[in-house]
């Protein structure tokens, strides 16, 4: 039983953002929350562009990552 908990905890800390977001989007669609799922999908697509489609582990996302993303978004909106 302990090994299952450790494995489960390890899986959560090593889960990728892209996979996590896809799971959430799928769950939202199943709950008929289509507009919310579209918002999550748009956010995921934006972050994927920022990362050049390179996935990132949830545990690797920190304030520096988010500040770089914010700066990227501001530059992107200035260009568009």
Model pLDDT, residue 9: 53
Model pLDDT, residue 80: 62
Model pLDDT, residue 76: 84
Distances 67 to 50, 52, 71 between C-alpha atoms, Å: 12, 17, 6
Residue whose tokens read 């990362």? 51
Model pLDDT, residue 6: 39
What backbone torsions phi and psi does residue 16 show, to the nearest 5 degrees?
Answer: -85, 150
Model pLDDT, residue 1: 39
Return d(Cα 49, Cα 19) in angstroms, integer. Answer: 15
Question: Buried b / exposed e across 9-40, counting CB within 10 Å, b at 16+?
Answer: eeeeeeeebbeebeeebeebeeeeeeeebeeb
Q: For residue 70, what are its two tokens?
A: 């914010």
Model pLDDT, residue 3: 38
- pLDDT tens sequence across 15-66: 999 999 999 999 999 999 999 999 999 999 999 999 999 999 999 999 999 9
């Amino acid at each position: 039983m302990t090994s299952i908990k450790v494995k489960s905890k390890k899986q959560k800390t090593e889960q990728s953002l892209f996979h996590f977001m896809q799971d959430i989007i799928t769950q939202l669609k199943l709950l008929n929350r289509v507009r919310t799922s579209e918002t999550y999908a748009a956010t995921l697509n934006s972050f994927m562009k920022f990362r050049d489609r390179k996935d990132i582990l949830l545990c690797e996302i920190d304030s520096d990552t988010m500040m770089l993303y914010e700066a990227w978004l501001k530059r992107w909106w200035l260009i568009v």
